[in-house]
């Protein structure tokens, strides 16, 4: 296990967790852990901060109007999320990540690239 907290090698963290089907896309939990990691002196990438309200509205409207599929909608957001995740030193996962398609993709990529993955609550490395 790698010690993340206090290790100067790890400066930037990406937050991964469930959104779909959760009120306000689980924004409260993402913000809560964004603050936690900022207070631990990490630069934090919160996927909720990667898109403008206009981008989200446009994509949501296209989905509602059936001009794009759910998969296309999901893919639009995941592509930018993953791009930003690749610039991070480690990943932290929120409770319930195991039930999230997107978080599972992010964890799969991180594991295969040997990027540390930390439980957001315990700060212990997973896997």
State the CATH number of the domain containing residue 41: 3.40.50.450
Whole-angstrom distance, CA of residue 19 vs CA of residue 2 = 28
Task: Judge whether 126 lies within some domain.
Answer: no
Confidence of residue 1 (pLDDT cuts 50, 70, 90): low
Task: Judge whether 1 lies within some domain.
Answer: no
Half-sphere exposure of residue 82: CA atoms within 13 angstroms, side-chain side: 16
Each residue's pLDDT tens digit, 2-19: 788 888 899 999 999 999
Q: Return the C-alpha torsion angle 93, 99, 103, 105, nearest 10.
A: 140
Task: Judge whether 73 lies within some domain.
Answer: yes
What is the number of domains present in the chain?
1
Task: Judge whether 21 lies within some domain.
Answer: yes
* Domain of residue 65, residue span: 12-119
Each residue's pLDDT tens digit, 61-106: 999 999 999 999 999 999 999 999 999 999 999 999 999 999 999 9
**Residue 126 in contact with residue 1, Cβ under 8 Å?**
no
């Amino acid at each position: 296990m790698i010690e993340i907290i206090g290790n100067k090698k790890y400066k930037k963290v990406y937050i991964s967790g469930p959104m779909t089907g959760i009120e306000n896309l689980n924004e409260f939990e993402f913000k809560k852990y964004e603050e936690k990691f900022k207070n631990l002196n990490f630069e934090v990438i919160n996927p909720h901060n990667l898109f403008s309200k206009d981008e989200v509205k446009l994509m949501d409207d296209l989905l509602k109007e059936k001009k794009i599929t759910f998969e296309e909608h999901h893919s639009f957001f995941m592509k930018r999320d993953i791009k930003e995740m690749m610039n991070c030193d480690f990943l932290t996962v929120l409770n319930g990540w195991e039930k999230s398609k997107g978080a599972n993709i992010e964890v799969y990529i991180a594991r295969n690239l040997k990027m540390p993955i930390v439980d957001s609550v315990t700060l212990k490395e997973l896997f």
